[in-house]
Structure 1
Amino acid sequence: MTSTVTIEPQSDSVPAASPQTSKMPLWKQEGAKPFLRIENVTKKFGEFTAVDNISLDIYKNELFCLLGGSGSGKSTLLRMLAGFESPTSGRIIIDGVDMAGIQPWKRPVNMMFQSYALFPHLSVEENVAFGLKREGLDRSEVKQRVAEMLEMVQLGHLGKRKPDQLSGGQRQRVALARSLVKRPKLLLLDEPLGALDKKLREETQFELINIQEELGVTFVVVTHDQEEAMTLASRIGVMNHGVIVQTAEPHDVYEYPNSRFVAEFIGSVNLFEGRVIEDLPDSVRIDSKDAGAVLFVNHGISCAPNQKVHVALRPEKTQISKEKPEGQQNCIKGIIEETAYMGSLSVYRVRLASGMEVRVTQPNTTRDLGARLTWNDEVYLYWDEDSSVVLTS
């Protein structure tokens, strides 16, 4: 196999539509060919296994997020895609080409680091042009491509400035422009927004989505920030101990986690332990000492008789009232121990008779303080039968 890979721009004949906006995403289309294929990839450092037999398909124009905590293996996997690390076993195939033995600078890939790694002595234009000049491109083409990219990231008026004359968000966009100006087929982003404050990070997330959609480049983003992954991603791969434990669209990862780990890692959740006492094809009843009640869920599960399970319930799907509701199959009683007013919503921590603490969030739809619940109020918590998920692992 030749070790030369030509980096070509995305074809003008292919629309730069994101899977997020298309009617049928590629990963749902039967027979669709993945742009990036990771086949049984393992990476060991001595006796330590950082990435453990991962297989994953990512499709063209997708914005895919690898989400996990520190030490989950997400950055190691990203570095193998870039060519900075070699797999101990397994294959990485990009656009139909096996990357084994291909050096980082010969891959159709670019990488944007969390530190941005800008040259402080070069101007914004010179930073963006650096890679193009090293490739020996004609001066006029370099100038044109740099100008186009700076306009795209809304920095055309700051091309002569040095990095230390820019804000954190502007430096982030310079790094993005430098990563994209070489027209990679695949852009890898390692915690790209981690250095920004919360408000700027939220604004930049949408800018990043717009740029990705406009260019049609496949993005793989590594992040530990769940909200960031939920905002950016067409799909999320949740990692834990070197393994991808669930791959799904953001909605499905949040609403239908496949394990306790995913349920607890993505957002806030209440987990009631119990044992299955009735398992029908379209419903299940669980006797839970945590809840002090029998809980009803209107979907079936695959489990053994009397199996221990957990019922996962998101705080915002839980209703709270001083009055006992009528006709609710899932209803438990407790006392408010803590409250927090968060502006758009209020948070309640309710202690049940079992000692379990349940978190409830409610939107503040009125300005009326008098009707608000407070400490030591005895309350009922209730939810619909389709609001919870049964987890067997």
Structure 2
Amino acid sequence: MTSSQVIDMQSSTAAATKEVPLWKQDGAEPFLKIENVTKMFGEFTAVDNVSLNIYKNELFCLLGGSGSGKSTLLRMLAGFESPTSGRILIDGVDMAGIQPWKRPVNMMFQSYALFPHLSVADNVAFGLKREGVGRSEVKKRVAEMLDMVQLGHLGKRKPNQLSGGQRQRVALARSLIKRPKLLLLDEPLGALDKKLREETQFELINIQEELGVTFVVVTHDQEEAMTLASRIGVMNNGVIVQTDEPHDVYEYPNSRFVAEFVGSVNLFEGQVIQDEPDSVRISSVEAGATLYVNHGISCSPDQVVHVAIRPEKITISHNRPNQSENCLQGEIEEIAYMGSLSVFKVRLPSGKEVRVTQPNFTRDMGERFTWNDKVFLFWDEDSSVVLTV
């Protein structure tokens, strides 16, 4: 092997190591450590013994419904609330007793909280001026930040002269200009319409990658979390019930709650009739069929479980497939044409309703279906997940 080949191999190995995210690297030190944090309001437990590690430069999303505890947890990170018990460490420093303005943290609120009487540039510069930063330095950093959020030409305008998306970017620039180690974002895109929200999500990702600041985003929007996050922590009743990368949260939910909360899912209750190390068979009255999954589970004999299958994993056809398991029969009750896909609601003989989505690859929509059609629904053995909780 030549010396150039050795160098190329070393470079490839280094690149591969660099691409491994910190949370998958043995011994990697978390940038933000939440250790057994509980928050009580009287007798009500808003956050219940939460432990979580978030790593440097990560864009982490806390995803949950109203009352799940996600915003309370965010406020404790910011210092607006104090934990009843437990510890929060940022960059190795215990935040106990440290006031919000002394933390290496900034927070962007859902309302943006811009000063209406100040220009865009003065809104962004506000924090620097309060710290006594020199005028020339303020001017330079404001210009750089406004250029980064593509608002350099609007520095003299007032907030009421901007669109919702532009105000959102002003708030982001103001939050980032003091170069915090950690930026907390509370429902940052909630006030935007759907199209603008989708566009801004990618802008937010690009800005985060460019600056290398650790972001923690609170949202109730599953699609937003899936688009933005390097990892997602799903919260329910004050507890983080699953922490994973977006793909794993969606494809491998660890409970019925996560499966139903993140995306759309069909759940079939059934009883385990065959449990092998690498597969399981489930008899389901709801489905009217035997369901086969090619992965093993940990369960007791004859345990009642739920089989989760996403709507897009199901094939719908007028013709009977060449398989007896994972094959259902039903009648189409509802059809919705959504442009890029069509949604079918199929009623099984048991009364169970199954949701199926089919992408519209071509203009003629392929095999045509209409209301009251008798159809077959089927899927591959590796497309579903068995849930025991």
One fold, TM greater than 0.5? yes
Give the SS at the match of 1:251: helix
Look up the match of 2:342. Answer: 346
Look up the match of 2:289. Answer: 293
Look up the match of 2:378. Answer: 382
Residue 187 (structure 2) pairs with residue 195 (structure 1)? no
CA-based RMSD: 1.0
Look up the match of 1:55. Answer: 51
Residue 314 (structure 2) pairs with residue 326 (structure 1)? no
Question: d(CA) in 2 for partners of 1:312 and 1:103?
Answer: 46
Normalised TM-score (structure 1): 0.94
Post-superposition Cα deviations, 1:20-40, rounded to whole Å, max 9, x if no partner, equal x95200000000000000000
Question: d(CA) in 1 for partners of 2:377 and 2:367?
Answer: 17
Question: d(CA) in 2 for partners of 1:328 and 1:108?
Answer: 59
Give the SS at the match of 1:194: coil
**Which among 311, 314, 323 is matched to residue 310 of structure 2?**
314
Give the SS at the match of 1:246: strand
Question: d(CA) in 2 for partners of 1:195 and 1:167?
Answer: 11
Identity over aligned pairs, percent: 84
Question: d(CA) in 2 for partners of 1:193 and 1:369?
Answer: 34
Question: d(CA) in 2 for partners of 1:304 and 1:370?
Answer: 44
Question: d(CA) in 2 for partners of 1:100 and 1:125?
Answer: 34
Question: d(CA) in 1 for partners of 2:367 and 2:347?
Answer: 21
CA contact (8 A) 1:328 1:383 kept: no
Question: d(CA) in 2 for partners of 1:314 and 1:161?
Answer: 47
Query: Which stretches in structure 1 are left out of the alignment for 5+ residues?
Result: 1-20
Residue 237 (structure 2) pairs with residue 244 (structure 1)? no
Q: Which amino acid in structure 2 is aligned with residue 254 of structure 1? A: Y
After TM superposition, give the deviation of residue 184 of structure 1 in Å.
0.1
Query: Which stretches in structure 2 are left out of the alignment for 5+ residues?
Result: 1-16
Q: Which amino acid in structure 2 is aligned with residue 50 of structure 1? A: A
Equivalent residues in 2 for 1:78-89 (5 A)? 78-89=74-85
Question: d(CA) in 2 for partners of 1:138 and 1:121?
Answer: 22
Look up the match of 1:141. Answer: 137
**Which among 275, 281, 286 is matched to residue 271 of structure 2?**
275
Q: Which amino acid in structure 2 is aligned with residue 368 of structure 1? A: D
Length, aligned pairs only: 373
Distance 1:177 1:350, change over 3 A: same
Q: Which amino acid in structure 1 is aligned with residue 233 of structure 2? A: G
Question: d(CA) in 2 for partners of 1:280 and 1:371?
Answer: 37
CA contact (8 A) 2:283 2:290 kept: yes
Q: Which amino acid in structure 2 is aligned with residue 361 of structure 1? A: T
Distance 1:369 1:141, change over 3 A: closer
**Which among 51, 59, 63 is matched to residue 67 of structure 1?**
63
**Which among 96, 104, 108 is matched to residue 104 of structure 2?**
108
Question: d(CA) in 2 for partners of 1:242 and 1:374?
Answer: 44
After TM superposition, give the deviation of residue 372 of structure 1 in Å.
1.3
Q: Which amino acid in structure 1 is aligned with residue 142 of structure 2? A: V
Post-superposition Cα deviations, 1:149-192, rounded to whole Å, max 9, x if no partner, equal 00000000000000000000000000000000000000000000
Look up the match of 2:13. Answer: none
Question: d(CA) in 2 for partners of 1:86 and 1:210?
Answer: 32
After TM superposition, give the deviation of residue 370 of structure 1 in Å.
7.8
Give the SS at the match of 2:19: coil
CA contact (8 A) 2:341 2:360 kept: yes
Give the SS at the match of 1:210: helix
Q: Which amino acid in structure 1 is aligned with residue 263 of structure 2? A: G
**Which among 99, 103, 127 is matched to residue 131 of structure 1?**
127
Question: d(CA) in 2 for partners of 1:143 and 1:341?
Answer: 52
Look up the match of 2:169. Answer: 173
Q: Which amino acid in structure 2 is aligned with residue 210 of structure 1? A: N
**Which among 140, 153, 169 is matched to residue 149 of structure 2?**
153
Instruction: Answer 1 or 2: which has greater helix percent.
Output: 2
Give 4+ residue runs of structure 1 displaced > 6 Å after superposition.
Answer: none
Give the SS at the match of 2:267: strand
Post-superposition Cα deviations, 1:298-323, rounded to whole Å, max 9, x if no partner, equal 00000000001000000000000011
